[in-house]
């Protein structure tokens, strides 16, 4: 919702409530007082309108006691309207600065304004204003859930910060190495060559990062068509596990492929290998020596499709980060993920899971992570070939 | 219509004032840790200066309690409510002082290189905030079971404190140059651990408020 929409919505609410108060002097007007001739059901209609608004509306009296709370406001507060109405604003919102702001606005010491607050792990934008004048004035608090917006802003900020960081580190190293090589080129050509080799490695790392960024960008834009065809899931998993066996052994890990039925799935072979390889590589990175990694697959009823699981006995993922690990550059607990299980620096670009999510979605499946005290498990689904005829490649590819 | 509408309203207002004060403390915990994490000296100074507001609110509530006791002669659960409020505001005021302690460390260490990224300390703060909020919910709802559940969660704060302690000790043993910075972080963790204990005190007051019994959770646990 844009700022203009927000302002218009607030004006509509103000108008509706002003009309309501003008016609009925709100809820506490004695019924025997003469009232102006109005349509018999207009007050009820206006109240219904307030209740049906897509934003939270709280109306308070001048003592900040809530007189009306619509369903959205109650939902945002995690309470029933009955638990809010008749109680003070602080009782429901537990934010003394908002209560104080409402008091100042109602006392005319401050014009209506916006206020950000966090509530029950949600971010709310509260628009505080006053209705009516003199003795018949009411406080109006309009609440909007901006959690998603905040999260997007955070993702954007993280993305810029991460891209800068990921580029800066190899660039700074390469610059330092070139300077050292320049100084050594005449006196010690052998050492200079060694430095240039290191520069080459840093440039490879940068190339890989740029390549993955472009890959992700192309996948997101749907510019790389998938070559979906029936393939043996068992063979694909065996291939990837055999590729990673040596690396796992070097890290002191036991990599196992669990017994599975031979399932034929409809997938792009190279992209499927990319997803499996990425999950196995991640498991190796975040599992300490002596741990184990198990790759398994089975049929599930979803779609119907096959589910592939990669379970490790590593450091696990906090529950609040489970959804976010598929975001670009998102790293759980940077302080811990910056180091590998063997104590060396992490070598990933932070894009692997984001790419995996897009590939899986484009193939018509889904990917998710689970974690407990014993480690993390990544699952993804891929449709079974027998159930997919003429797959809508273009349509599938734009998913996610 | 309540039998004593003025008295009822005064008690309700008193409870609202208590919620205002707990909201002040909640913000103080959140801001002091944010200041420490983001090396935000301005925010740290705000926590220090806002402590006066908490102290003022404590005395304001205390005066109201005395006034209600003197003018309304409360009995039974009403009297227990006032006694409980008097105790809870003392705990809240001390919790705010712990936040000032954290904020002062944030100011002191603001120009030093960070020893390590903060992980468990923010977790301790979040756990304490969650416990405080639910303890106040239990107070408002007069819910002993909820208060007991919150008090049990103090173990989580204590475990995190032990974890932080062990981790910082490792830093100090590995490199004695880190002793100064590690000790500062240890004080922060200790302040948060004490905040958790104060929340437990509030839970004890909820128990007293509803049952009239004065029981200490920790003592009960040891038995």
φ, ψ at A138 (rounded to 5°):
-130, 150
Taking only the tens place, the pLDDT of each residue in B84-101 is: 999 999 999 999 999 999
Q: Please report residues of A whose CB lies closer than 8 A to that of B5.
A: none
Of A155-159, A319-323, B196-200, which has the strongest mean pLDDT? B196-200
CA angle B53, B54, B56 (to 5 degrees): 65
Taking only the tens place, the pLDDT of each residue in A361-376 is: 888 899 999 988 788 9
Of B9-18, B106-115, B194-203, which has the strongest mean pLDDT? B194-203
Q: Please report residues of B whose CB lies closer than 8 A to that of A336.
A: 119
Average pLDDT, chain B: 90
Same domain, A266 and A130: no
CB contact under 8 A, B116 and A95: no
Residue B23 has pLDDT above 80, yes or no: yes
Can you give the pLDDT at residue A34? 47
Chain A with chain B: Cβ pairs closer than 8 A: 34
Q: Please report residues of B whose CB lies closer than 8 A to that of A335.
A: 116-117, 119
> Between A190 and A157, where is the model more confident?
A190
CATH number where B148 lies: 1.20.58.220
Residue B165 has pLDDT above 60, yes or no: yes
Residue of B16, B21, B119 with shortest CB distance to A335? B119
Same domain, A249 and A138: no
Same domain, A201 and A296: no
Can you give the pLDDT at residue A42? 64
CB contact under 8 A, B16 and A88: yes
When pLDDT is averaged across residues A189-208 and rounded to a whole number, the result is: 84
Residue of A96, A333, A335 with shortest CB distance to B23? A96
Given A145, A175, A200, the domain boundary residue is A145
d(CA A276, CA A254): 17
**Contacts of residue A345, Cβ cutoff 8 Å, sequence gap at least 6:** A338, A339
Instruction: Provide the percentage of residues in chain A whose pLDDT is more than 70.
Output: 78
Residue of A91, A99, A334 with shortest CB distance to B117? A334
Range name among A25-29, A136-140, A189-193, B215-219 with the lowest pLDDT average: A25-29
Same domain, A49 and A126: yes
Average pLDDT, chain A: 78
Can you give the pLDDT at residue A339? 43
Residue of A nearest to B137 (CA): A91
Can you give the pLDDT at residue B2? 62
CB contact under 8 A, B119 and A91: no
Can you give the pLDDT at residue A28? 44
When pLDDT is averaged across residues B144-156 and rounded to a whole number, the result is: 92
Confidence band, pLDDT 50/70/90 cuts, at residue A4? low
Taking only the tens place, the pLDDT of each residue in B177-204 is: 889 999 999 999 999 999 999 999 999 9
Residue A33 has pLDDT above 50, yes or no: no
Kindly state the tokens that stand for B23. Answer: 């909201």
What's the gap in Å between the CA of B95 and the closest CA on chain A?
A: 17
Residue A11 has pLDDT above 90, yes or no: no
Same domain, A251 and A311: yes
Question: H-type helices in A53-146, by residue range?
Answer: 71-77, 81-84, 89-93, 96-106
CB contact under 8 A, A99 and B20: yes
Confidence band, pLDDT 50/70/90 cuts, at residue A171? confident
Given A193, A221, A249, the domain boundary residue is A221
For chain A positions 86-105, those within 8 Å of chain B (CB to CB) are: 88, 90-91, 94-97, 99
**Structural domain boundaries, residue B211:** 5-222
What's the gap in Å between the CA of B219 and the closest CA on chain A?
A: 30
Same domain, A250 and A367: yes
Given A124, A145, A166, the domain boundary residue is A145
d(CA A199, CA A184): 14
Instruction: Provide the percentage of residues in chain A whose pLDDT is more than 90.
Output: 14
Kindly state the tokens that stand for A260. Answer: 């599975």
Residue ranges of chain B whose CB lies within 8 Å of a chain A CB: 12, 15-16, 19-24, 26-27, 116-117, 119, 133, 136, 140
Can you give the pLDDT at residue A135? 61
**Contacts of residue B47, Cβ cutoff 8 Å, sequence gap at least 6:** B28, B31, B32, B35, B99, B100, B102, B103
Confidence band, pLDDT 50/70/90 cuts, at residue A207? confident
Residue A336 has pLDDT above 50, yes or no: no
What's the gap in Å between the CA of A111 and the closest CA on chain B?
A: 22
What b-and-e string marks burial along A157-167, b requiring 16 or more CB atoms within 10 Å of the CB? ebeeebeeebe
Can you give the pLDDT at residue B104? 96
Kindly state the tokens that stand for A93. Answer: 């919102």
> Between B201 and A314, where is the model more confident?
B201
Same domain, A206 and A316: no
Residue of A nearest to B50 (CA): A97
Residue to substitute from B19, B129, B142, interface A, most A β-carbons within 10 A:
B19
Residue B116 has pLDDT above 90, yes or no: no
CATH number where A158 lies: 1.10.287.130
- Give the largest CA-CA distance in chain B: 70
Residue A338 has pLDDT above 50, yes or no: no
- Note whether A230 and A384 are within 8 A (CB): no
**Contacts of residue B134, Cβ cutoff 8 Å, sequence gap at least 6:** B146, B149, B150
Same domain, A239 and A361: yes
Residue of A94, A97, A333 with shortest CB distance to B133? A94
CB contact under 8 A, B19 and A335: no
Same domain, A140 and A167: no
Taking only the tens place, the pLDDT of each residue in B43-86 is: 999 999 999 999 999 999 999 999 998 987 787 888 999 999 99
Taking only the tens place, the pLDDT of each residue in A92-145 is: 888 888 888 888 888 887 776 777 777 767 888 888 888 876 667 888 899 888
What's the gap in Å between the CA of B130 and the closest CA on chain A?
A: 9
Can you give the pLDDT at residue B101? 96
Same domain, A138 and A243: no
d(CA B181, CA B161): 17
DSSP character for A384? B
What's the gap in Å between the CA of A81 and the closest CA on chain B?
A: 16
Number of domains observed in the structure of chain A? 3
Number of domains observed in the structure of chain B? 1
DSSP character for A224? S
**Structural domain boundaries, residue A12:** 3-145
Confidence band, pLDDT 50/70/90 cuts, at residue A325? confident
Same domain, A276 and A374: yes
Q: Please report residues of B whose CB lies closer than 8 A to that of A86.
A: none
């Amino acid at each position: 919702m844009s700022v203009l929409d927000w302002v218009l919505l607030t004006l509509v609410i103000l108008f509706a409530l002003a009309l309501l108060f003008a016609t009925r002097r709100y809820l506490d007007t004695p019924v025997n007082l003469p009232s102006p001739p109005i349509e018999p059901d207009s007050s009820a209609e206006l109240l219904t309108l307030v209740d049906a608004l897509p934003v939270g509306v709280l109306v308070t009296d001048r003592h900040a006691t809530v007189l009306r709370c619509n369903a959205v406001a109650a939902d945002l507060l995690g309470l029933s309207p009955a638990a809010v109405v008749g109680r003070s604003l602080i009782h429901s919102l537990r934010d003394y600065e908002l209560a104080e702001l409402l008091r100042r606005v109602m006392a005319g010491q401050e014009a209506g304004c916006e206020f950000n607050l966090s509530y029950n792990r949600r971010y709310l934008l509260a628009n505080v204003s006053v209705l009516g004048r003199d003795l018949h004035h009411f406080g109006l608090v309009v609440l909007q859930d901006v959690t998603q917006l905040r999260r997007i802003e955070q993702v954007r900020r993280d993305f810029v910060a991460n891209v800068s960081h990921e580029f800066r580190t190899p660039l700074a190293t390469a610059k330092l190495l070139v300077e050292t090589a320049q100084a050594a080129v005449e006196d010690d050509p052998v050492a200079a060559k060694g430095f240039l080799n290191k520069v080459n490695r840093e440039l490879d790392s940068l190339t890989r990062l740029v390549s993955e960024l472009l890959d992700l960008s192309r996948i997101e834009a749907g510019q790389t068509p998938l070559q979906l065809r029936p393939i043996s899931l068992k063979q694909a998993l065996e291939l990837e596990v055999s590729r990673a066996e040596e690396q796992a052994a070097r890290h002191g890990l036991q990599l196992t492929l669990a017994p599975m039925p031979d399932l034929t799935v409809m997938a792009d072979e190279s992209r499927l290998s990319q997803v499996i390889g990425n999950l196995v590589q991640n498991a190796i990175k975040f599992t300490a020596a002596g741990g184990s990694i198990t790759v398994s697959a089975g049929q599930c009823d979803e779609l119907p499709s096959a589910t592939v699981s990669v379970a490790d006995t590593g450091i696990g993922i906090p529950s609040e980060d489970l959804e976010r690990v598929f975001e670009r550059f998102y790293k759980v607990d940077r302080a811990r993920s910056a180091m590998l299980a063997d104590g060396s620096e992490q070598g990933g670009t932070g894009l692997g899971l984001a790419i995996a999510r897009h590939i899986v979605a484009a193939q018509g499946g889904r990917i998710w992570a689970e974690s407990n005290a014993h480690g993390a498990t990544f699952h993804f689904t891929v449709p079974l070939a027998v159930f997919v005829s003429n797959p809508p490649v273009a349509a599938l590819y734009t998913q996610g | 219509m309540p039998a004593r509408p003025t008295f009822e309203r005064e008690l309700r207002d008193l409870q609202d004032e208590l919620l205002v004060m707990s909201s002040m403390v909640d913000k103080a915990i959140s801001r002091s840790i944010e200041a420490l994490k983001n090396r935000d000296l301005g925010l740290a100074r705000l926590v220090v200066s806002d402590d006066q507001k908490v102290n003022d609110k404590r005395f304001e509530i205390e005066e109201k309690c005395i006034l209600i006791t003197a003018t309304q002669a409360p009995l039974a659960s009403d009297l227990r409510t006032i006694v409980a409020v008097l105790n809870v505001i003392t705990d809240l005021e001390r919790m705010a002082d712990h936040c000032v302690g954290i904020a002062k460390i944030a100011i002191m260490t603001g120009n030093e290189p960070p020893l390590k990224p903060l992980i468990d300390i923010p977790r301790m703060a979040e756990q304490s905030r969650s416990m405080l909020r639910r303890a106040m919910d239990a107070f408002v709802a007069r819910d002993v079971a909820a208060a007991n559940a919150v008090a049990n969660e103090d173990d989580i704060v204590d475990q995190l404190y032990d974890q932080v302690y062990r981790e910082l000790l490792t830093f100090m043993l590995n490199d004695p140059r880190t002793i100064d910075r590690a000790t500062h972080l240890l004080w922060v963790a200790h302040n948060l651990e004490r905040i958790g204990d104060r929340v437990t005190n509030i839970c004890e007051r909820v128990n007293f408020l509803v049952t009239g019994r004065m029981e200490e959770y920790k003592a009960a646990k040891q038995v």
